[in-house]
Amino acid sequence: MHTALIPWLDPETIIQGAGPWALLVVCFIVFAETGLLVGFLLPGDTLLVISGLLSHPLPGSPDGVFGISVWWVSLLIGLAAFVGGEVGYYIGHKAGPAIFERKESGLFSVKNVERTNAFFERFGALAVILARFVPIVRTFTPVAAGVGHMHKGKYTLYNLAGAVLWGFGLTMFGYLIGFIPPIADFVKSYIDLILLAAVGGTALVTIWHYLRERSRAKKAAAAGEDVITDHAEAEELVLDPDVFDRPPHLDGDHGHRRDGHDEHPPRDEP
């Protein structure tokens, strides 16, 4: 077996000390990415696949790093994704348009909301499922559905389907590709490096996303652009309820706001 580059990254030490705690961290990241507006900074897809890979039997642990069957790992990650989606909907439903009334920053961008709205306008209620596989959009979709008062029962059904396909499905996909001999051998031999890359990569990607969004907000403010979403602009970001009942429009040219206009107008510049 590959010798750990750093003592505390010894595979057996990691397996004995991490276990359920590592899975708890993964579940929280998945929950945050789908339930909290700041979650768009987190790299969900890659983390799910790696979690599946790390569920393969390893020296010292027949159930991999997490210490439990991959079925439980996938189920708990899928549950975290579902609960996150429900919390995001609840936040949007209770806060209403006011949740969009804020200044552009590294943690919020009205363009992300508009991108999510466009996704709904194109795919209707199916966006709740499909958005799971689209970074950033999957974070804002539950909130947009809540603010627009999508029928709760319908939303929950689609949210469940999306959580199963994305959370459970991608984790199992990662586990299955671990059966490919070269990949399996690499995981068993370099588990410490994979864990280091997973932890370090998650942190670096999160920080990079935040700094990039913050830099864009600062540049926009310096250029004199409108970087504060006021009450009227927030109201314009609310989707018309009939968007959630439409069939998908694959041409993508069916923008619709609550006020009945066809497109989201550009922000007014001073």
Give the pLDDT confidence of 238-255 residue by residue, as tens digits: 888 888 988 887 665 554
Helix (H, G, I), strand (E, B) or coil at 155: helix
Segment 145-185, tens digit of pLDDT: 999 999 999 999 999 999 999 999 999 998 998 888 887 77
Mean pLDDT of the chain: 78
pLDDT value of residue 226: 64
Segment 185-235, tens digit of pLDDT: 777 666 667 666 766 766 776 677 677 777 876 776 677 666 677 778 888
Q: Residue range 131-139: average pLDDT?
A: 89
For residue 10, pLDDT over 60 is answered with no
Instruction: Give the residue with greater pLDDT, 103 vs 154.
Output: 154
Q: And the tokens for 214? A: 């913050």
Tell me how far CA of residue 133 lies from CA of 137, 139, 229, in angstroms: 9, 11, 27
pLDDT value of residue 171: 93
For residue 70, pLDDT over 70 is answered with yes
pLDDT value of residue 14: 52
Dihedrals phi, psi of 228, to nearest 5 degrees: -120, 125
pTM for this model (two decimals): 0.77
Instruction: Give the residue with greater pLDDT, 255 vs 104.
Output: 104
Tell me how far CA of residue 86 lies from CA of 37, 111, 117, in angstroms: 13, 23, 18
CA separation for the pair 36, 140 (Å, rounded): 8
For residue 3, pLDDT over 50 is answered with no
